[in-house]
């Protein structure tokens, strides 16, 4: 029965069964997992001839029952039992017997069926014979499937290998990288054909690797092999035309039964273009376009390499800032500022040529430059010496067009022995520069004292952010007094922070932290939320509410849902009982936005006050349009007006202007009866300050002013 041709065994089996059992029709069909409702006929021997193989639906056929049971037998009337089976009806068969094709592990591959045009009686011997035949057919089909899958896998692998942009390979683990399998892509990659490299017929792959890269390649492969990992490496090869190209290779060792790496398999790509592109990008990325100096990235890269490969060498990093640079841009235009920066860079380069210790010059941002100097034992003295040299570079004014400009430098310094990384070293110099600017200094060095100060500020910031996140801030209330009657008519809610470790922290400190950290809006929301909760308690306890003022920052005004947020927080309280205070300077950051928000808040019933009025700059035209109710006169004018006639005149002017615009006035910072009396005489309606009462906790305020 066996022949070399595929399926010959199956066909001969069907023919033999037909002869042995005198069957009119013998069918062998496969069923695959991806289409379990369809049978694929492998062979169909009918009335002495092989018929074309087709597929048919199992649903509504006796074959469907075969696959769900061990056998299916109809001695007569099979067509009547399955009227929907079109193929059965076409044959006009009267009897049917079918058995499943099972492999040794009882996997069903399909079915074997015999049909007769006349009724037939199938005894147990016939069923046993069919089951044996079905098992033989299943074994043959299983082997065919394995063979075909293997051939398909090999075809796909070959197609994939030959379609790769580079080359795929399998080579021996020897000194020559003796190739056993090479894809056709090797020709485009190297100029050599696959047969040139296989078994080193013309040249070995090892000879293609650039001599300067051979040790690097060998070490990378050796390390990866020891770790049983893939090796990934870029290196140069010498092609057939002597051209040098960059390649990227990924591969892995193949072990034999004893665990020894006998071969390598992988693929190699041509990355010459990408490598050249990366070199170009690196050149751009590490060079300041305006001045041609190294930029921040190049400086940090150079320094980090020094930290890692030359840790014994100390450096002094000097950060230079051009004082009054903004004035140049404003007076002469941005092009003049750019010209100045280029000239400063040239002066630094020319001057550094005379000092061997100055190893790198960079422009790190805007008008800030860095000079990197090899450090000596005399730390601070060396900084002052270097700063003196740098200052001398600019003794002669710079010529910008027709203008001669003197350059004034502010300098800070940091030493590498204090920093653990390049980024930290630059950051320390930046901290020292910030300190110099804050205190109007020409020089500042990052030292232990400054480090302690920065560390304390950082710790303070961390503690505040933690307190804010956990809702540990509290409020205090300062009474607002009607100057005419002396009665308490309201209060201002002020945020307070008592830390278990730091104690009481001044609002000026933690509000500045909130501003720098960008959480001023969140702080304001918390204060408003706590205040509204307190007001609801007062409303239930006392039946009436004093007007309470809450400070609002510009960051809150900029929030897209600020009005909706305020309404949600103040729900359950009459909006007129809440006064929202915003400083004059915050209002003028974005006047148009402020106009929109203040009008919407007024429409919902909130009262609005301009805090610290007179200390900022605001247009009277805008002031008239702002939907505000109250002007709060800044405490600096109130405390100076008794002795300073100009301050008294300014206070009087503010009160008169407010009366003209129909606004209330509240004076802040009243500390004496004389101040309170004068304000009353000038027509100011309200006041607050230590004279009337300090900010106190809510319980004490309620006991003093509400009960």
The pLDDT value given to residue 142: 87
Under the banding of pLDDT at 50, 70 and 90, the label for residue 485 is very high
Which of 351-355, 408-412, 431-435, 661-665 shows the lowest per-residue confidence on average (mean pLDDT)? Answer: 351-355
pLDDT above 90 (res 5) = no
The pLDDT value given to residue 441: 92
261 to each of 178, 227, 258, 284, how far by Cα in Å? 14, 12, 9, 43
Under the banding of pLDDT at 50, 70 and 90, the label for residue 353 is confident
Distance CA 628, CA 687 (A): 18
The pLDDT value given to residue 614: 72
pLDDT above 70 (res 616) = no
Q: Which of 144-158, 263-277, 454-468, 625-639 has the highest mean pLDDT?
A: 454-468
The DSSP secondary-structure symbol of 417 reads G
Reported as a single tens digit per residue, the pLDDT across 167-203 is 889 999 999 999 999 988 899 999 999 999 999 999 9
Distance CA 521, CA 427 (A): 28
Average pLDDT over residues 472-490: 94
Classify the C-alpha dihedral 74-79-84-88 as positive or negative. Answer: positive
The DSSP secondary-structure symbol of 198 reads B
Under the banding of pLDDT at 50, 70 and 90, the label for residue 412 is very high
Q: DSSP labels for 522-536?
A: HHHHHHHHHHHHHHH
Distance CA 82, CA 75 (A): 14
Mean pLDDT, the chain, whole residue set: 89
The pLDDT value given to residue 4: 44
Pick the CATH number of 8-155 from 2.40.160.20, 3.90.650.10, 2.60.120.10, 3.30.450.40: 3.30.450.40
pLDDT above 70 (res 620) = no
The pLDDT value given to residue 621: 63
The pLDDT value given to residue 445: 93
pLDDT above 90 (res 686) = yes
Beta strands in 562-688 (DSSP E): 578-583, 607-613, 630-633, 664-667, 686-687
The pLDDT value given to residue 164: 65
Reported as a single tens digit per residue, the pLDDT across 31-76 is 988 888 999 999 999 999 999 999 999 998 999 888 887 788 999 9
Average pLDDT over residues 539-548: 87
Boundaries of every domain in the chain: 8-155, 164-276, 289-446, 464-706
Please, which residues have CB within 8 angstroms of residue 191's CB and are 6 or more apart in sequence?
Answer: 239, 240, 241
Of residues 619 and 590, the one with the higher pLDDT is 590
pLDDT above 90 (res 587) = no
Q: Are 338 and 281 in contact (CB under 8 A)?
A: no
The DSSP secondary-structure symbol of 143 reads H
Q: What are phi and psi of 488, to 5 degrees?
A: -80, 120
Nearest to 698 by CA among 707, 690, 689: 707
Distance CA 479, CA 488 (A): 6
Q: Are 1 and 12 in contact (CB under 8 A)?
A: yes
Reported as a single tens digit per residue, the pLDDT across 70-107 is 788 999 999 999 998 988 999 999 999 999 998 878 88
Q: 164-276, superfamily in CATH? A: PAS domain (3.30.450.20)
CATH 3.30.70.270 fits 289-446, yes or no: yes
Strand, helix or coil for residue 366: coil
The pLDDT value given to residue 707: 82
Fold of 464-706: TIM Barrel (3.20.20)
pTM across the whole model: 0.54
The DSSP secondary-structure symbol of 71 reads -
Of residues 22 and 3, the one with the higher pLDDT is 22
Tell me whether domains 8-155 and 464-706 share a fold.
no
Which long-range contacts (C-beta less than 8 Å, at least 24 apart) are formed by 447-455?
447/380, 451/418
Reported as a single tens digit per residue, the pLDDT across 230-287 is 999 999 999 999 999 999 999 999 999 898 999 999 989 999 888 887 777 667 778 8
């Amino acid at each position: 029965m066996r022949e070399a041709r595929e399926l010959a065994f199956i066909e001969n089996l069907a023919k033999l069964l037909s002869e042995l059992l005198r069957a009119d029709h013998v069918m062998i069909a496969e069923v695959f997992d991806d289409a379990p409702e369809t049978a694929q006929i492998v062979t169909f021997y009918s009335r002495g001839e092989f018929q074309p193989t087709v597929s048919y639906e199992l649903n509504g056929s006796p074959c469907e029952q075969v696959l769900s049971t061990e056998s299916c037998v109809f001695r007569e009337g099979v067509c009547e039992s399955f009227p929907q089976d079109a193929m059965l009806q076409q044959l006009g068969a009267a009897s049917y017997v079918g058995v499943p094709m099972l492999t040794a592990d009882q996997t069903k591959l399909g079915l074997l069926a015999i049909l007769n045009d006349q009724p037939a009686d199938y005894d147990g011997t016939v069923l046993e014979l069919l089951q044996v035949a079905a098992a033989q057919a299943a074994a043959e089909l299983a082997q065919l499937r394995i063979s075909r899958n293997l051939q398909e896998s090999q075809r796909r692998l070959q197609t994939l290998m030959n379609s790769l942009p580079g080359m795929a390979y399998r080579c021996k683990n020897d000194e020559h990288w003796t190739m056993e399998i090479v894809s056709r892509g090797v020709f485009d990659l190297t100029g050599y054909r696959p047969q040139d490299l296989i078994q080193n017929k013309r040249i070995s792959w090892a000879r293609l690797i650039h001599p300067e890269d051979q040790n690097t390649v060998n070490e990378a492969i050796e390390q990866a092999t020891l770790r049983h990992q893939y090796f990934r490496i870029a290196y140069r090869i010498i092609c057939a035309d002597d051209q040098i190209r960059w390649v990227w290779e990924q591969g892995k060792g193949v072990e034999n039964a004893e665990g020894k790496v006998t071969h390598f398999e992988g693929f190699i790509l041509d990355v010459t273009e990408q490598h050249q592109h990366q070199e170009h990008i690196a050149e751009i990325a590490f060079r300041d376009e305006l001045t041609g100096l190294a930029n921040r990235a190049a400086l940090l890269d150079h320094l980090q390499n020094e930290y890692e490969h030359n840790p014994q060498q100390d450096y002094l990093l000097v950060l230079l800032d051009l004082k009054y640079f903004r004035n140049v841009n404003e007076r002469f235009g941005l092009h003049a500022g750019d010209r100045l920066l280029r000239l400063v860079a040239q002066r630094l380069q020319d001057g550094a040529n005379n000092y061997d210790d100055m190893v790198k010059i960079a422009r790190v941002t805007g008008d800030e430059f860095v000079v990197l100097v090899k450090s000596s034992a005399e730390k601070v003295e060396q900084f002052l010496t270097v700063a003196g040299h740098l200052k001398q570079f600019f003794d002669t004014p710079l010529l910008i067009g027709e203008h001669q400009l003197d350059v004034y430098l502010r300098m800070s310094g940091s030493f590498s022995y204090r920093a653990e990384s390049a980024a930290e070293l630059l950051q320390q110099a930046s901290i020292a520069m910030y300190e110099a600017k804050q205190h109007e200094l020409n020089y500042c060095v990052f030292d232990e004292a400054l480090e302690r100060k920065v560390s304390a500020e950082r710790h303070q910031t961390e503690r505040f952010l933690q307190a804010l996140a956990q809702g540990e801030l509290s409020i205090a209330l300062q009474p607002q007094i009607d100057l005419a009657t002396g009665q308490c008519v309201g209060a201002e809610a002020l945020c307070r922070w008592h830390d278990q470790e730091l104690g009481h922290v001044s609002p000026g400190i933690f509000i500045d932290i909130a501003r720098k950290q960008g959480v001023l809006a969140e702080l304001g929301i918390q204060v408003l939320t706590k205040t509204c909760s307190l007001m609801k308690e007062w409303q239930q306890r006392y039946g009436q509410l004093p007007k309470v003022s809450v400070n609002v920052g510009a960051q809150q005004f900029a929030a897209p849902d600020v009005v909706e947020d305020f309404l949600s927080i103040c729900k359950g309280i009459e909006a007129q009982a809440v006064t929202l205070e915003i400083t004059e300077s915050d209002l003028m950051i974005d006047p148009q936005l402020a106009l929109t928000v203040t009008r919407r808040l007024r429409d919902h019933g909130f009262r609005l006050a301009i805090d610290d009025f007179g200390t900022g700059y605001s247009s009277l035209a805008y002031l008239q349009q702002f939907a505000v109710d109250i002007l709060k006169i800044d405490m600096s004018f109130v405390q100076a007006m008794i002795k300073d006639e100009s301050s008294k005149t300014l206070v009087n002017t503010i009160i008169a202007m407010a009366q003209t615009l129909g606004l209330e006035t509240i004076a802040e910072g009243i500390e004496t009866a004389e101040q309170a009396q004068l304000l009353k005489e000038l027509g100011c309606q309200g006041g607050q300050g230590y004279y009337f009462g300090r900010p106190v906790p809510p319980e004490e305020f309620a006991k003093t002013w509400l009960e």
